[in-house]
Structure 1
Amino acid sequence: MRPTARGRVAARSVPIAVLALLTALAGWLPSAAAAADGTDGKSQAWSVQPTDKGSGAARRLAFQLDAPPGAVIRDSVRISNLSTEPISFQVYGADAYNTPRDGGLAYRQAGEAQHDVGAWVQLRTNAMVIPERRAADIPFTVTVPEDATPGTHTGGVIALDNALRGAGTTDSGVDVSIQRAIAVRLELTVSGPRTPGLSVTGVRLDQTPGGAPFEAGRATVQYTVTNTGNTPVQGKAAIEVTGLFGHTVATRTRSLPLILPGQHTELTLDAGRSPPVDLLTAKVTVTGTGAPATTARVHRLALSWPTLASVAVAAALLAVGLSQLRRRRRTLALEHA
């Protein structure tokens, strides 16, 4: 099965265990499910989704809630054991966050401190064993603090399979086990004004020079995007690299991941070919729905050592040639004196 979001890795025991978070994000999949083969060859398949609200109600793909500060919301999550053996689960609420390097959406583990909506979720039970081919609905409440900030708070209700499933042996001979979890996304919008905003900082321009004299190099632009507002924003980044006299070296446009309020992520983009020697300027402009555009830039002297070495050798040869020419002229002048 293809995971629906980036996994998280954590050491649990020896042999090594990998914690894989498979998430169901709003509108992406009709349900979230995980499957693994146990050591006895049986399949441990299970799913997690919001409990149906009754006949005639639309099927929910995620928890999308609205409430004022101080409100208490009641809901329920359904865990279905689709396998042929009982499965023991740990169930908890978790904050969502953007991964630092690529902006992927992830959820905090059960042992981590939850500071936002993950801490507001209280389940009737945090542990249960579901028999084979059975499902269980777990009620929970979301208690919104009186001082909760307006805007969207994103987290998830997570079911973690307590068992470590064998995943094989690595090339180095280490046994690897897998522990799987599924998160159903929870978006709680607290009443109040919405203020979307993005900022871009920390722009860095790196150049990998070509291997031969006067060969073009490759330019890479890194930058950090921060959500400065109170609602998730997905936008675009326009990157322009120019040379000393304003000539365009490269232009790129890329979509940004969904960035949660207060979160930031560092992104990298290959800007393509760059001159072997030049004074480069990289400008990054970030825009998002409802958010004003923001721009940051950086300057970088691009140097290709093979090119500089060739220029230095040529200059040295020219200097030697000119010196010999001047010496010859002085000699001819003395002979004709």
Structure 2
Amino acid sequence: MRPPRPCTTPALARATVVVLLAVLGLLGTGAGPAAAADGDASWTVGTAAGDFGSGRENYRYTLDPGGRLQDGLVIVNHGATPLHLAVYAADAFTAEGGRLDLAAKDATSTKVGAWVHADRPDVTVAPGGSAEVPFTVALPDDAAPGEYMGGIVTAPAGAGEGDGRLGIRIRLRVGGALKPGLSAEDLRVRYSGTPDPFGKGEATVTYTVRNTGNAILAARQAVSLSGPFGRFGVRAGQIGDSPQLLPGDTWKVSVPVRGVTPALRLTGTVALTPLLTDAANSVAPLAVVQTTADAWTIPWTLLLLVLIVVCGLTVAALAIRRRRRTRPARTGSAAALRPVDQQDSAG
């Protein structure tokens, strides 16, 4: 293994500080330099200058299966004591809140984290100095085509993950057919109703966005509801784009929809527009993917009102019928009540 190459020029130190500002957010380690285990030293990381250029914010490569390349990571120690850091590669994943993070050192990486190898597992950087740690990217012959995300990480040697770590993303494109794809899964519509028997209620549409392809994608989303034959249509308000999802990753979404007519049967529609970002950071929208699901929307308040009215009319009809049955008959009653003397005189 080659020892770390000293690299202490002021220009490089300034460059690494600039690069740090762009990459600190990638690992969730805070807004400033991470502290070393002893609390006295801090460091920054940056990309090494070489065949791939200088001043890069992160690493981007395109390699065919079985391909190899070499690059380097520059570490600058801003502290007053020697800095001993572990150096390792890790796969990326979508963390809670949509932020891309890198797996812990003891986690098993199967993609970028398994294909990137630092020339040494740790490095000691002198106070006020810097060191470059070369690393190799070596793809297996059976690497599947597509886009992958990972990173190379530095952390205090022998310390836990909570003691701070800094790293830089590695975005890798493996040669072959790129097949981007998204789907909306487990689509459900829940109608919450309204106390107004003639009013409109609110519904909640929930679903899971899944990256079903082999490209890193974000999703532009639109949600709508409609009644039978497409009537009583209503759209949800503006929905923010999903975070960038790695192949196989998922993102759960819950969308409120207001002004929904309880038309007995509702159809919910989710339209996803995949957003593909290329190496020049240009975003290209792809063909829209739609998913639908049906749900019952029973207007219980209106049905209760109708039931009360029907019951009231039924009770009233029965009362009228009973009153008619119990009324005394008048036919022949006058003759039966006339006095006997009036009957005799008549005879």
State TM-score, norm by structure 2: 0.72
SS state at 1:229 partner: coil
1:78 and 2:74 equivalent?
Answer: yes
SS at match of 2:236: strand
Q: Deviations over 1:247-267 (max 9, x none)?
A: 113234542321222333322
CA RMSD of aligned residues (A): 3.5
Other-structure match for 2:316: 324
Instruction: Identify the residue that residue 232 of structure 2 maps to in structure 1.
Output: 247
Residue in structure 2 matching 1:265, options 251, 257, 264: 251
Query: Aligned AA for 1:96?
Result: A
- The reply on whether 1:206 has 2:203 as its aligned counterpart is no
Could you tell which deviates more after superposition, 114-123 or 288-297? 288-297
1:162 Cα deviation after fit: 4.9
Specify the alignment match of 2:133 in structure 1: 138
Which residue among 55, 62, 65 is the counterpart of 2:58?
A: 62
For residues 53-76 of structure 1, give each alpha carbon's deviation from its aligned partner in whole angstroms, at most 9, with x where no partner exists.
38x944101111122221211111
Q: CA–CA distance in 2 between the matches of 1:248 and 1:290?
A: 26
**Residue of structure 2 in register with 1:89 after alignment:** 85
2:26·2:167 contact (CA, 8 Å) conserved in 1? no
Residue 332 (structure 2) pairs with residue 335 (structure 1):
no
* 1:179 and 2:163 matched: yes
Where does residue 34 of structure 1 map in the other structure? 33
Which residue matches 2:118? 123
Question: Structure 1 residues 159, 217: closer, same or farther in 2, change over 3 A?
Answer: farther
Deviation, 1:85, is 4.2
Structure 2: which amino acid aligns with 1:279?
A: R
Q: How many Å separate the matches in 2 of 1:208 and 1:225?
A: 24
Q: Pick from 274, 279, 285: which aligns with 2:271?
A: 285
Give how far 1:216 is off. 5.0
Q: Which structure 2 segments of 5+ residues have no match?
A: 1-20, 275-283, 330-347
Query: How many residue pairs were aligned?
Result: 297
Q: Which one has more relative contact order, counting CA pairs under 8 Å at least 6 apart?
A: 1
In the alignment, is residue 48 of structure 1 matched against residue 40 of structure 2? no
Which of residues 177, 181, 189 in structure 1 aligns to 2:173? 189
Structure-2 separation of matches of 1:163 and 1:209 = 57
Is the CA contact 1:33–1:48 (under 8 Å) kept in the aligned structure 2? Answer: no
Alpha-carbon distance between aligned partners in 2 of 1:202 and 1:51, rounded to the nearest angstrom = 45
Q: Partners in 1 of 2:184 and 2:191 — Cα distance?
A: 21
The alpha carbon displacement at 1:92 in A equals: 1.0
Q: Counterpart of 1:109? A: 104
Residue 284 (structure 1) shift: 0.8
Q: Which runs of 5+ in 1 are unaligned?
A: 8-19, 23-31, 166-176
Residues 259-291 of structure 1: CA deviation (Å, up to 9, x unaligned):
222333322333345346742221112122464
Task: Tell me the TM-score normalized by structure 1.
Answer: 0.74
Give the conservation status (yes or no) of the 8 Å contact 1:88–1:162: yes
Q: Which has the higher helix share?
A: 2
Question: CA separation of 1:247/1:36 partners in 2, compared to 1, >3 Å: closer, same or farther?
Answer: farther
The alignment-based identity, stated in percent, is: 24
Q: Per the alignment, do residues 178 and 297 of structure 1 end up closer, same or farther by CA in structure 2, a change over 3 Å counting? A: same
In 1, distance between residues paired with 2:252 and 2:323?
66
Q: Which has the larger radius of gyration?
A: 2
State whether residues 103 and 266 of structure 1, in contact with CA within 8 Å, keep that contact through their aligned partners in structure 2: no
